[in-house]
Amino acid sequence: MVSKQKILIVDDDNKIAELISLYLTKECYDTQIVNDGEEALRAFETFRPNLILLDLMLPGMDGYQVCREIRHNSDVPIIMLSAKGEVFDKVLGLELGADDYIIKPFDSKELVARVKAVLRRFQAARPVPAAPSNIKCVEYPDLIINQTNYSVIYQGKAIDMPPKELELLYFLASSPNQVFTREQLLGHIWGYEYIGDTRTVDVHIKRLREKIKDHESWSISTVWGIGYKFEVKTP
């Protein structure tokens, strides 16, 4: 399942940020907006963007410092945005690890073109590592389920979820469009020695649906008279 590439927009001017988001959404990117440096670092961990558009002039922690912090543990592409057009500012940004530098005001077409170019360069230069066989993780648009570290990221936010709920969600999502009976789910998740009935499955499905709403491209679906499936919708 190929998910949209995600772009984190960091700008204290929300009008500019929303305008950038509009341009990129039209190009089928998934975006998230934050307005200060500390929030940017938190969003970087939860949203896991493919690229960051980073304004320099931020309240508190400025863009240079945010770039420095991210570069300590990630090579995610960063494009700096600034009204500062002096050579010194550009050089400093690039030396700290930025991949490009765009001066405000900018043309929307140029911004989109630069985003695409930086992503192309990054993907071409990045070796594709072999996926470790012991990592259990499935990813869909707006949803990442990692059973290895028991985490769920939904719409860029970490979702608190008890182990059995997460295991049930992972089991369904790792076999998209496959229908499972309540008995099968009970056996796989709780074990055949579990003393209980199939209503346990229904209760956990209800709790999952309260936390994770149906998406335009996937949903937790009831197959009447049989059980449940993680339905992936074809375009």
d(CA 20, CA 165): 37
- The model's pTM is 0.54
b/e string for 208-231 if b means 16 or more Cβ within 10 A? Answer: beeebeebebbbbbeeeeebbbbb
> pLDDT value at position 136?
82
- Can 6-125 and 137-232 be said to share one CATH topology? no
d(CA 209, CA 103): 44
Delimit the domains of the chain by residue range: 6-125, 137-232
- Residues in the chain where the model's pLDDT stays below 70: 1-2, 124-134, 192-198, 235
> pLDDT value at position 115?
93
Pick the CATH number of 6-125 from 3.30.1330.10, 3.40.50.1470, 3.40.50.2300, 1.10.10.10: 3.40.50.2300
Show the tokens assigned to 6: 């995600």
Mention the CATH class of domain 137-232: mainly alpha
